[in-house]
Amino acid sequence: MTATDRLVVVGASLAGLRACETARSRGFAGPITLVGAETGAPYDRPPLSKKLLAGEWDAERIRLRKSDELAALDLELRAGVRAVELDTRAARLTLDDGTTLPYDGLVIATGAEPRRLPGQPDLDGVVELRTLADSLALRGRLRPGHRLTVIGAGFIGLEVAATATQAGCRVTVLEGAPAPMIRGLGPALGQAVATVHPRHGVDLRCGVAVDGIEGSSGVVRAVRLADGQRVESDTVLVAIGVRPSIDWLATSGLALGDGVVCDATLRTSAERVFAAGDCARWDHELFGEEMRVEHWTNAAEQGAAAAANLLGTLAGEPAEPYRAVPFFWSDQFERRIQFVGRAHGDDEIRVIAGDLDGDFAALYGYGGRLRGVLGVNLPKVVMPYRRLLAERVSWADALRHADA
C-alpha cells in the first residue's frame, strides 16, 4: 500500500485497534479510518464481567489506549456509527449516517452480539452483557440481597455469578447442558471447575430447560422452568452465548457461515478484504478444522495478523497462515482458569498436577495428538504447552513431558 491508499477497519474493539496499530508499525503512512458502533475510545471487554462490574475499576481504566497513544496512530475514528452495507465490487463501505467510505484495503472486525432467548420479553431487569453500557447498568443493580438469575453457565455467565455473589447478591445459574462450561472444557472438567460456585453459595442448576421469563407492570419477576418451577428474580441476565455481527454483510457477496468465512490467512472471499476477531471463521491448519474463537488473545493476535497479511498481499508478498494456538482465561472467585488449545469433545483427559478438588492441570488428547491443556491456578504448568501444541506434539510425547 502507498501513502495515497486508504485502509478502513470496521470494528473499534481490540481486533480492530490491533489491525490499525500493526498497519502503522509496518510503515503504512496512508489514511486509516476506524469505524465503531459505540461512542468513545476503544476499551477492554474482559473487565466488564469482573473488575468493572464489581465497581473496583472505573470506565477510564479499561480504555485500551490513552488519548495520546490513539492520537499518535493518526486515525480517523468514526465512533458511534455502524457499517450497514459493503460493496466489494466498488470497494465501498456505507455507514448508517449515510456516508460512504472507499477503501483500498479493508479489515472486518465487527465482533459478536449476545444471543437472545426465543420470545425473550422486553422487560425492565432482563439484561445482556456485551458493552460498557451493559456492564455499568448491571453494576447499578447489584446489591446485597438482590436476586440475580443467570441463564447460561458459560464463562461470562459464571464470571458475573461470581462477581454478583461477592457483592452480596443471591444468585441462581440455570444451564440447559448437563455441565457448566461444556463447550470450552467438556463435561467432566467443566463440572470440576465449577464446583467453586456452590461452595460460595451460588445455586447452580444444570440440565434444566427455561420455559419463559415472567413479568408484571413491565418489570421482570421470575424465570419459569419447563418442569413448572419458578425462580423469583429481580434481574435476569441472558448469557447463552454470542453470534457473529455479520447481518450487515448479507448483500456483500462475501462467504458467510457462523462468521465471515476466511482461508487460512484470514483472507475473505473478496479481494483486499480480511477479517479478524469474534466474527472471523477461518481454516486453522494446525488443528485441521474451521473455527471461530471468541477470546481476547485471539482478537489481539488475529487483528495484527489480518492487517499484516493485507498489507503484504497488496505489496505482492505471500500471506502467512494464521496458526496461533487458542488461549483463554477466566477468573471465578479465587480460581484463575486457563486453557490452551482446542477441546474436541471426545478427548482423553489426563490430570497431570494437583487434583480436581483444588488446583490442578489436565491434558486433553485426541487422535494421537495433544489437543489442549487446562489449568486452575497453575499458570506455570499450563503456558509452556502452548509451544508444544504449536509443534503438533503427540499425545505420548505430551505425557512424557508431563512426567519429566
Query: 293-317, pLDDT tens digit by residue?
Result: 999 999 999 999 999 999 999 999 9
Residues above pLDDT 70, as percent of the chain: 99
Q: Strands (DSSP E) along 239-390, which ranges?
A: 242-244, 260-261, 273-275, 280-284, 289-291, 327-332, 335-341, 348-354, 360-366, 369-376
C-beta atoms surrounding 243 within 10 Å: 15
Report the pLDDT value the prediction gives residue 8, as an integer from 0 to 100: 98
Q: What pLDDT, in 10s, does the model give residues 336-363? A: 999 999 988 889 999 999 999 899 999 9
Q: Are 40 and 64 in contact (CB under 8 A)?
A: no
Question: Taking 70 as the threshold, does the pLDDT of residue 158 lie above it?
Answer: yes
Residues of the chain within CATH 3.50.50.60 domain(s) are: 7-113+243-314, 116-240
Please report which confidence band the pLDDT of residue 2 belongs to, taking 50, 70 and 90 as the band edges: low
pLDDT average, residue stretch 141-164 = 98
pLDDT average, residue stretch 254-283 = 97
Gyration radius (Cα) of the chain, Å: 22
Superfamily of domain covering 7-113+243-314 = FAD/NAD(P)-binding domain (3.50.50.60)
- Rounded to the nearest 5 percent, the helix, strand and coil shares of the chain are 25, 30, 40
The C-alpha cell that represents 75 in the structure block:
486515525
- State the DSSP code for 321: P
Please report which confidence band the pLDDT of residue 1 belongs to, taking 50, 70 and 90 as the band edges: low
Residues of the chain within CATH 3.30.390.30 domain(s) are: 334-403
C-beta atoms surrounding 219 within 10 Å: 11
Q: What pLDDT, in 10s, does the model give residues 216-236? A: 999 999 999 999 999 999 999
Tell me the pTM: 0.96
Report the pLDDT value the prediction gives residue 196, as an integer from 0 to 100: 96
Give the residue ranges of DSSP H helices in 143-268. 155-166, 182-185, 187-193, 196-199
Question: Taking 90 as the threshold, does the pLDDT of residue 22 lie above it?
Answer: yes
Please report which confidence band the pLDDT of residue 3 belongs to, taking 50, 70 and 90 as the band edges: low
Residues above pLDDT 90, as percent of the chain: 96
Q: Label residue 310 exposed, middle or buried (CB < 10 Å: 0-12, 13-18, 19+).
A: buried
Q: What is the third-level CATH fold of 334-403? A: Enolase-like; domain 1 (3.30.390)
pLDDT average, residue stretch 103-128 = 97
Architecture of domain 116-240: 3-Layer(bba) Sandwich (3.50)
Report the pLDDT value the prediction gives residue 346, as an integer from 0 to 100: 87
Beta bridge partners of 214: 222
Question: Taking 80 as the threshold, does the pLDDT of residue 4 lie above it?
Answer: no
Phi, psi of 189 (to 5 degrees): -80, -25
Report the pLDDT value the prediction gives residue 404, as an integer from 0 to 100: 78
Question: Taking 80 as the threshold, does the pLDDT of residue 326 lie above it?
Answer: yes
